[in-house]
Each structure stands twice: as C-alpha cells, then as structure tokens.
Amino acid sequence: MTVVVKVGGAVGNASDGVLDDLAGRPDVVLVHGGSEEIDRLAAALGRPAEHFTSPSGVVSRRCDAGQLEAVVLALAGSVQTRLVAGLGARGVRAVGLSGVDGRLLLARRKTGARAVVDGHVVRLADDLSGTIEQVDAGLLRGLLGLGVVPVVGPPAVTAEGLVVNVDADAVAAAVAAALGAEALLLLTNVPGLLRDPDDPSSVLASVRHAEFDAAVDLARGRMKKKLLAARAALDAGVGRVVIASSRPERPVRRALAGEGTVCS
C-alpha cells in the first residue's frame, strides 16, 4: 500500500512525530513544504516574502527571481536536508529530491498569474511559478524498490530547464496520483478542515465529492489550495485524502485511522 505523506512547513507544524511514524513503514513517500523557512531566509536575504490573492481568492507566494532563490535555499537546501537527516537518525534510508533532480517534477511555467491589488486585477509578468505536468513515477518506484524513502519538495523544472516554484500540496497530489497511492495525507498545523477557522474543535469529519465546492468556499487562503489538491488527487484515482494535524504523536497512524477530515 503506497502512502504519500505531506508535512506542511507553515508556523505551527511539527515533523518529529511524522518522522517517528515513518520508521519501519515501507512504500511511503514524504513530501514537504517550508513556508516558515522560506520566509525566514527571504528576510535574511533582505527580500521579505510577499503573498498575493488571485481573482478567485486563492493566496499564493509572490515568486520573482529573488524569492525563488529563497525558495530553493529553504526547501531543497534546508528543510529537505533536515528531514532526510531526521529519517536517517531513525534508521530510515532516505533520499531528498527536488522536482529538478532527475526532472522528477516536470512543469509548465504559469504565464497568466494575476493578482488583485487595490481592487484591480494586475498581471504578474515576472512570476516564476509553474504547474506540474508530469511526475517521474519510475524514479520514485525505483527508490522504493531499493527500500529508500524519497523525500520530495518544490521547486519543479520546465522542459527548457527553467526552475519554477510549485505549491507543495500540488506536488503531494501529483506524486500520489502518479503512484496510484492508496492514501494521501496532508498533515498541517490545524486538525483538519474547520467549519469555523478560528475554532479548532469544528473539524469536518468528511468531505464527499459532491461537497467539495462548498468545502472550498469554507476555506480561506491557503487551505483552499489543500482542498483543490485533494480533489485533484481523488479525481486522478487516489483512494482517499486525509487533511489532519502534523502535531500529535503518531500523526500518520492517526490520519490513516481517519482522524482529521477524510476526503473521498
């Protein structure tokens, strides 16, 4: 049973319990984000991170060439290295791959990125973000066959060799779809999709296919992206997607047992 586990990188996530849970589990791919670390590095480079809201209300990281440098340093350089080291310390052979390595995540550069600024829609011509078009499942299966856990994160690369930022939830969905995963766990800093984002006890136990549009309306900002990724994974044949907390002990086991929001 292939399971894809994505651990979030925003403030309030925890990865130790996730790594503990992965030890001894075969056939697992770990996908990661890293927004807290990207923000920290961008600030250290003197280029504070910015976000923008698309006309449809989805919040994304502003990613010009300067910000992309912070993304690469933070994700492929820092977060991924720490996760691989943490798995190694638990006796797990792991290999870190960005989408550029082996052209694991082949993407198309987005040309139509638009932001709402002071009520007006403007085009972001210098945006270096992309949409994943192809995942090299053979590379991941080859590593899994060697007993190695692939640890995968943004950025991705275009056919022409341009490095582009991609959303980590979208990476997780694309990887799960390419592997025909039985489950995709999106572990984050909240216990699931909340009916009221300010009330952690208001977790929705499930979202069925017909309820997705209403669920997307319920979500604000980046949670919308998680739901869109969940729907894309389910549409591509992934068995189930669980949005759950990365913070408790045994978060993988809990999410597989249905704790959180189960999307099917």
Nearer to ligand ADP, 12 or 138 (CB): 12
Q: Residue 129 CB, nearest distance to ligand ADP (Å)?
A: 15
**Which tokens belong to 14?**
């925890």
Nearer to ligand ADP, 33 or 136 (CB): 33
Q: Is 117 exposed, middle or buried (0-12, 13-18, 19+ CB in 10 A)?
A: exposed
Q: Residue 189 CB, nearest distance to ligand ADP (Å)?
A: 5
Residues 6+ apart with CB under 8 A from 47: 66, 67, 70
Eight-state DSSP code of residue 263? E
Quickly list DSSP for 189-218. Answer: SSSS-BSSTT-TT-B-SEE-GGGHHHHHHH
Dihedral sign for Cα atoms in the order 175, 211, 113, 80: negative
Nearer to ligand ADP, 135 or 193 (CB): 193
Q: Residue 34 CB, nearest distance to ligand ADP (Å)?
A: 8
Residue nearest to ligand ADP (CB): 8
Binding residues for ligand ADP, rule: CB under 6 A, are 8-10, 13, 33, 35, 188-190, 193-194, 197, 218-223
Rounded CA-CA distance 158/130 in Å is 8
Nearer to ligand ADP, 124 or 193 (CB): 193
Q: Residue 59 CB, nearest distance to ligand ADP (Å)?
A: 9
Nearer to ligand ADP, 10 or 116 (CB): 10
Q: Residue 11 CB, nearest distance to ligand ADP (Å)?
A: 8
